[in-house]
Amino acid sequence: MTCLRENLKGADLLIGYLEGTLSAEERAELDQHASACADCRGLLAAQEMLGDDEVPEVSADFDARLYARLQQEQQQQWWRRLLWRPAVPLAAAAALLAVTLWVRPVAPPQADEPKSASVDRAEIEQLEQALDDVELLMPVNKTPEVL
């Protein structure tokens, strides 16, 4: 057997060896090779060499913190769901419009005379003013042909 690093099936053999899935024959052959090859012996023992790495205990309040976050998230989702319902923004817009129309001040009536009469008088005054302006622009010694 060639060294695992130079063997095309090196990865298969190593993982099979470590996971105990090699046949008895393959395992014996590999063990025999490793007894004479320091590199392969080291490779087969590499996993074992890592030892039992101790890790800290999980904090006692881990679950409590998790459930608090879950609860907080559920509450936020409830509000989000409520706000994202299509009917809610529409209803809010309709209510806002109704309130705006209701509170908008109504313009007081202008004058006692009828509206059409006041408009006519304004137009006459504007026309008279325009004629006066044209007259002022004319030369003094010249009579306007138009007039």
Partner 1 sequence: MLRVREGDETSFAILLDRHRAPVVHFLYRMVRNQAVSEELAQEVFLRVYRSRASYQPTAKFTTWLFRIATHLALNWIRDGRKEKNQQSLDVVLEDGEGSVLERQVADGSLTVEQEMCNEVRMREVRVAIEALPDKQRAAVVLHKYEGLGYTQISKVLECSESATKSLLFRAYETLRVRLAHLA
Which residues bind to partner 1, rule: CB under 8 A?
A: 4-5, 10-12, 14-15, 18-19, 39, 42-43, 45-47, 49-51, 53-56, 58-59, 62-63, 65-66, 69-70, 73
Residue closer to partner 1 by CB (options 18, 29) is 18
Handedness of CA 86, 89, 95, 100 (dihedral sign): negative
Indicate the residue among 20 and 105 with the shorter CB distance to partner 1: 20
Return d(Cα 133, Cα 127) in angstroms, integer: 10
Give the C-alpha distances (Å, rounded to integers) separating 79 from 25, 64, 70, 73, 130. Answer: 66, 23, 15, 10, 66
Q: What is the DSSP letter of 138?
A: S
Instruction: State in angstroms the smallest separation of the CB of 60 from partner 1.
Output: 11
Identify which of residues 19 and 113 has a Cβ nearer to partner 1 in the complex: 19
Of residues 71 and 118, the one with the C-beta less far from partner 1: 71
Q: Are 47 and 41 in contact (CB under 8 A)?
A: no
> Shortest approach of partner 1 to residue 44 CB, angstroms?
9
